[in-house]
Structure 1
Amino acid sequence: MKKKLVSTVLASALLVSTLAGCGFTGGDTGSGTPTTSGDPGTATTTRDTLVYYDSNEIRTLVQWAASDTQSFTILNNTFEGLFRLDANHEPEKALCEDYTVSEDGLTYTFTLREGLEWSNGTPLTANDFVFAWLKQMSADATNGYNFIMTDYIVNGAEYGENKVSAEEVGVKAVDDRTLEVHLKNPTPYFLYLTTLSMYFPLNEAFVTEQGDNYGIKAENMIYCGPYVITSYDPAVGTTLKKNDKYWDAENVAIPNVEVKIIKDASAALNAYQAGTLDKVNLSSSDVAKYKDDPEFHTVTEFRVTYLQYNMEDPALSNANIRKALGYAIDRSILADTILADGSAASEGLVSFGVSGSDEGTFRELNGNISSFDPDLAKEYWEKGVAELGSEPKLSLLIADDSVTKNIATFVQSQFRDNLGIEVAIDSKTSKARNELMDNNNYQFAITAWGADYDDAMTFLDLWIADAKTGKSTPYRGNYANPAYSELILSAKADANAETRLQSMLDAEKLLVEEDAVVSPLYYKGFAYLQSAEVQDLIMHPLGSPVEFKFAHFADSAEG
């Protein structure tokens, strides 16, 4: 379903020697880069371990609670769904051996591979999918991702509201190897959805036995993906080893993976220079120094970083205040000078490259609705202050990694220079920031969203109103506009591609331009240094972030 520009973007990304998410290492002294088994800088001489780093804590390993890329990275490599994204970012059969789709596009019948097993030797069956999917549709799910199923599966929303029984939901285990799924509307990207962690199976007996301990430690979980977890510390990292029970274990080349949390960009670069990382993301200050290095690469993804306003905050409930803040930011300086890592100034919520129609991508069709205009910013600020009766004191909530701190400092300076105001920066751990947003305890925050599939809906339906409360979640700013929800619901039910697209174009303008619920900042890019010792570590521009399954050391590659 990808359009021409999307294919071009992905093809360009594949020209780099390896697509990688954050960082890793592997090698032995004299023939490659040594691995680490402790803190960055502590080298060993084994070549059986790939070391990858991430810049924020791993929030959770419980898939019905996970909503961050760090958690998705671990889950995607220790679990698996019916399909997995391949090296070209397209869904390929994974736990599914075959499938059929009814003529009306509403019924999918999946046949599982024969002899599938969990890492503890328990058979993996179609019922494991039913159990996991029902849990994701229920009130047990705390990741804000219920919609990724309830919007599509027959009676999914009704089940989440306790209006129907599990037997009435459109997901059935016909037998141990056959899963039948009934959709509300034809969904051309449904196979993409099955590659996401929310769609991974869970063993009911094991999860029930573990209770609240499930996902706390490695021993409290069983796995069905390429790797199993051997240790887990949210703030330090996770160690993985090859899953011998995995159906495709013979094609998993690297026996061990370590995922370390390194928040400071300088510390990560020092580890790379010391030979304990084979790939490192570069901060903007280092790009000029390394841009001519043969190990320098850039890659982009379908991910937008934005300011999320809390519509229930007394000051930010004022639309003029929100518009003022949005117009006050020069995004081109942010992307080209502050980040300088392949990122691009945002022109709306939906990122560059996402499909639109034969006439152009979604972004091309909707134009720039996220512009910089300091004069207009001042005008809106003055209106907002007059309506509030006094100038508000504002605090910007952020995660404490170095990249986000740099972004926040720039945004703070833009408010100072273009509005004459001082905005405080409230820096918290990623987990603490998420909890504050979930609990509605913030004014506005820097956050981000990456595409789960190649369609604008993956961004736009995040702000649809909850059926009970009539507004979006606190994390999405408590937005409440029936007109917006109607546009999204109409697009979801519309089988006409042209009118469906127009509803989404109108919805984005309403959300960003008229109601100013969010202020998009930039589309994510990476500049990085990477050794040729590790190859085929694939980073996807959408969906699950990174694949360890395909990676191998250069000197161990066959042929």
Structure 2
Amino acid sequence: MVKKRKVSLGKRIGITVLAVVILAGGFAAYDTLSRKSSSSNVLNEPLATDLTTQDLSQVIDEYSSQIAGNVQEGLLSRTASGTAKAGLAKSWSHSKDGLTWTFHLRKSLKWSNGDSLTASDFVYAWQRTVNPKTGSQNVYLYSGIKNADAINSGNNKDLSSLGIKAPNSHTLVITLEHPMPQFENLMATPAFFAQDKKFESKLGKKVGTSAADQVYDGPYKLVGWNGSNKSFKLIPNSNYWNKKAVKNDGVNFQVVTDPIAGLGLYNKNKLDQTTLSTNAQIKKYKNSKNLKIYNESGTSYLEYNQTGKVAGLTNQKIREALNLATDRSTISQEVSEGLDSPASGITPAGLSKTSSGEDFAKAASKSTGYSYNISKAKKLFAQGLKEIGLKKLTLTIEASSDSSASKPTLDTLQQTWQELPGLTVKEKFVPFKQRMQDQENHNFEVVLGGWSADYAEPLTFLNMFISGGGNNDGSYTNKTYDKLIASASNKNALNDKARTDNEIAAEKLLYKDSAIDPIYWMNAATLTNPKVKGVQYFSSGVWYYYMHAYRVK
């Protein structure tokens, strides 16, 4: 995945990122960590890019979320089918209007360092995340919780007015401004997990910058990560309330950025799974009994810098021309042997259904018309150039250098876009972390990003593009769009049909305004070790739960 910045990773920022450059030293660089555990009840997992943080207020990419979702636990967790179940809270309830939620914590909860975990740790964590001084990009997820938006915007300086209270050490009362259909799902998301104020107050900005700079309340503890190294472990947390349910002795992680090395390590039993990320790999193993195809509920898309700093990109006709010059089918074929699907909207197929039972993406596609039409694109591009008084234009597309999907995507875009008279297209490849930073700072012209779902509802994608939103990196703005999202999130939150109507209308506006350029919906072709059982996979939120997994002989 590219990004789940809400990266899903992420923005849960996308597509598995695996660089095409062979790392110096080949497989030997990865042997040390897994050599001793390949036959024990320890799992061996790859991570496709460097771990960025374990500060729960700052976790924004899929990979950090994957770790956080296993070393921490929220008020709620998830069943194998993805529905909410009890986590640190043993029970919960809500008022008839859906505005007041009450959670009762388990007794005698502890952090991994022995500190008591109480309801006040959730109050502290939520207040810290919405505090504008923290600069969390997860705060958009809090929209709908009483006073969260007002506090984060700076209009309300009283952190204690946030809609979360702890009447005693084992009870939390949460107040919403409007019903939130995704609320239970969010309670199993790292952005809403507890944080240990006693521990964190000594660290300041160092929180979560290494394994030692964090404490854990989940099934595992993170050990061996110094903030930049390529191998680390999850080991069982003896202070976890349900430690007897953990069926393995831990998980070894290796950052493996090379698809050839990843496949080689899998074939040498040094990894228990690997994602096939090149066409050649997919062709070779497409009939393997160990191949699993996962719906990633993610979309790869282009964002245009519409701040006014990039010539041409504030012109709708130019953006529409670029969209029409995007050959989605060819890109999908080049990236994944056609495994990924050409996108007809930002919300991917398979994420959710409408009130009538139709796949939302299919229903929305009736209102959009993303297509490849180079003839129409040329006409619109010429008109757009004339409107802004230019005869030619140069655009740079930025993408992650550590993604095997980036090069074929940009190469195809460059080829088709440069058929537009007067347009020169340049490619720019930077590391994943820099690309994310450039997006956040609006330091790009056109950027290839990705988003994976935080929860199974279209708003997890559509919320990104509200005016001034923390993940609206292209600075798209449309008051009608904002009203549609507000209506879907507020007035129609519990009215499935009306909410769906709002969301489809929002997809239509993104298309009409050429606000973004959805390219393909993501699937993952993953080879898995048949001797490893019980790993739980989710297409939204945290990808994997490991605690129920075990190795058979």
Alignment coverage as a number of residue pairs: 517
Distance 2:338 2:83 in 1: 25
Distance 1:21 1:397 in 2: 17
One-letter identity of the residue aligned with 2:311: P
Distance 1:256 1:162 in 2: 45
1:253 aligned partner: 247
One-letter identity of the residue aligned with 1:44: R
Q: Secondary structure at the match of 1:222?
A: coil
Distance 1:554 1:417 in 2: 56
1:531 aligned partner: 529
Matched, 1:483 2:480: yes
What is the correspondence of 1:29-48 to structure 2 with a 5 Å cutoff?
39-42=29-32, 44-46=35-37, 47-48=40-41
Matched, 1:355 2:353: yes
Matched, 1:509 2:512: no
Distance 2:414 2:150 in 1: 44
2:150 aligned partner: 158
2:127 aligned partner: 134
2:24 aligned partner: none
- Conserved? CA contact 1:306–1:519, under 8 Å: yes
2:540 aligned partner: 542
One-letter identity of the residue aligned with 2:505: D
Which of residues 209, 214, 222 is equivalent to 1:221?
214
One-letter identity of the residue aligned with 1:172: K
Q: Map Cα deviations across residues 134-178 of structure 1 (whole Å, 9 max, x no partner).
A: 1111113434221211x2111122222252523322100011110
One-letter identity of the residue aligned with 1:503: N
Q: Map Cα deviations across residues 307-344 of structure 1 (whole Å, 9 max, x no partner).
A: 01110222322222211111112212222443126321
Residues 1:101 and 1:382: Cα distance change in structure 2 (over 3 Å): same
1:326 aligned partner: 323
Distance 1:272 1:55 in 2: 14
What is the correspondence of 1:487-498 to structure 2 with a 5 Å cutoff?
487-495=484-492, 496-498=495-497
Distance 1:85 1:405 in 2: 36
Q: Map Cα deviations across residues 33-55 of structure 1 (whole Å, 9 max, x no partner).
A: xxxx9832455243143221122
Distance 1:407 1:55 in 2: 19
What is the correspondence of 1:383-398 to structure 2 with a 5 Å cutoff?
383-388=383-388, 389-398=390-399
Q: Map Cα deviations across residues 451-509 of structure 1 (whole Å, 9 max, x no partner).
A: 1112111111111123xxxxx44752111222211111122222343332222111111
Distance 1:244 1:211 in 2: 26
2:232 aligned partner: 238
Distance 2:466 2:228 in 1: 31
1:375 aligned partner: 375
Distance 1:63 1:392 in 2: 42
Shift of 1:355: 2.4
- Conserved? CA contact 1:22–1:280, under 8 Å: no
Distance 1:532 1:21 in 2: 21
Distance 1:320 1:448 in 2: 24
One-letter identity of the residue aligned with 2:291: F
Distance 1:341 1:240 in 2: 35
- Conserved? CA contact 1:137–1:159, under 8 Å: yes
Shift of 1:428: 0.8
Residues 1:474 and 1:99: Cα distance change in structure 2 (over 3 Å): closer
Residues 1:405 and 1:290: Cα distance change in structure 2 (over 3 Å): same
Shift of 1:418: 6.7
One-letter identity of the residue aligned with 1:400: S
Shift of 1:110: 0.2
1:15 aligned partner: none
Distance 2:117 2:70 in 1: 17
2:519 aligned partner: 521
What is the correspondence of 1:272-421 to structure 2 with a 5 Å cutoff?
272-282=266-276, 283-312=278-307, 313-340=310-337, 342-353=339-350, 354-367=352-365, 368-388=368-388, 389-401=390-402, 402-416=404-418, 421=423
Residues 1:400 and 1:347: Cα distance change in structure 2 (over 3 Å): same
Q: Which range moves more in the overlay, 354-363 or 62-71?
A: 354-363
What is the correspondence of 1:100-179 to structure 2 with a 5 Å cutoff?
100-149=93-142, 151-160=143-152, 161-179=154-172
Distance 1:214 1:474 in 2: 23
Q: Secondary structure at the match of 1:329?
A: coil
Residues 1:264 and 1:156: Cα distance change in structure 2 (over 3 Å): same
- Conserved? CA contact 1:299–1:342, under 8 Å: no
Distance 2:436 2:552 in 1: 39
Shift of 1:528: 2.0
One-letter identity of the residue aligned with 2:151: Y
Q: Secondary structure at the match of 1:40?
A: helix
Q: Map Cα deviations across residues 178-232 of structure 1 (whole Å, 9 max, x no partner).
A: 0000111122221001111100000111111111221122111111111111122
One-letter identity of the residue aligned with 2:543: P
Distance 2:82 2:339 in 1: 20
Distance 1:67 1:97 in 2: 27
Q: Map Cα deviations across residues 394-420 of structure 1 (whole Å, 9 max, x no partner).
A: 111111122323322232233245768
Residues 1:369 and 1:538: Cα distance change in structure 2 (over 3 Å): farther
Distance 2:178 2:343 in 1: 31
Residues 1:237 and 1:436: Cα distance change in structure 2 (over 3 Å): farther
Q: Which range moves more in the overlay, 74-83 or 50-59?
A: 50-59
1:428 aligned partner: 430
Which blocks of at least 5 consecutive residues in structure 2 are unaligned?
A: 1-14, 19-26
Q: Which range moves more in the overlay, 44-53 or 321-330?
A: 44-53
| Aligned residues: CA RMSD | 2.3
One-letter identity of the residue aligned with 1:390: K
Q: Which range moves more in the overlay, 324-333 or 196-205?
A: 324-333
Q: Secondary structure at the match of 1:338?
A: helix
Which blocks of at least 5 consecutive residues in structure 1 are unaligned?
A: 1-19, 24-36, 467-471
Distance 2:336 2:455 in 1: 26
Shift of 1:276: 1.3
Percent identical residues:
27
Distance 2:105 2:323 in 1: 49
1:98 aligned partner: 91
